[in-house]
Amino acid sequence: MSTPEERLAALGLEVPEVAAPVAAYVPAVRSGSYVYTSGQLPFRAGELMAAGKVGGAVTAEEAFGCAQQCVLNALAAIRTQVPLEQVRQVVKVTAYVASVPDFTGQPAVANGASELLGEVFGDAGRHARAAVGVPVLPLDAPVEVEMIVEVG
């Protein structure tokens, strides 16, 4: 059985270094058998992958990729608490999508996060989810993702 990092590598992806918080919080907290991540923005190599509203300056396809990067950053945050091999279940994912008022494709954007988690963790990557349209996110990011995982 391969590890989550090996499955990511097979997809041509890797868990980055944990992103530095942009305010007064920590990237992740463990409480008992659960790790809760702070909201993760689509930072890649220290910069946002895109900025602006989905359905405006940012396409749904670009936002899908941003959601994937948010998950990679969330996995980096989880890894500050436990090795990824200890993730038993991805419990809940919340995807916030900064979008123009008439954009209704938030669930498709959030699939960037959900589908990647399924590929990395298999059945343990199946999770409850909310995909929420919002008017603006920190730093004008188009997507922010937070996660709760059970660990053992």
Give the containing element (helix H, strand E) for 31: strand 28-31
- Looking only at the bridges linking them, the beta strands covering 128-134 and 143-151 are unpaired
Pairwise CA distance, residues 110 & 43, whole Å: 16
Pairwise CA distance, residues 2 & 116, whole Å: 16
Pairwise CA distance, residues 130 & 94, whole Å: 5
Residue 1: predicted pLDDT:
66
Residue 22: predicted pLDDT:
78
Residue 23: predicted pLDDT:
86
Instruction: Say which residues have a Cβ less than 8 Å from residue 16's Cβ, sequence separation at least 6.
Output: 43, 44, 45, 72, 73, 76
* Residue spans of the chain under pLDDT 70: 1
**Residue matched to tokens 């940012």:** 58
Write the secondary structure of 37-75 as one string of H (helix), E (strand) and C (coil): ECCECCEECCEECCCCCECCCECHHHHHHHHHHHHHHHH
Give the containing element (helix H, strand E) for 77: helix 60-79
The 10s digit of each residue's pLDDT in 49-90 is 999 999 999 999 999 999 999 999 999 999 999 999 999 999
Residue 20: predicted pLDDT:
80
Q: Give the residue extent of every domain in the chain.
A: 4-151
Q: Considering the domain 4-151 in this protein, what is its CATH number? A: 3.30.1330.40
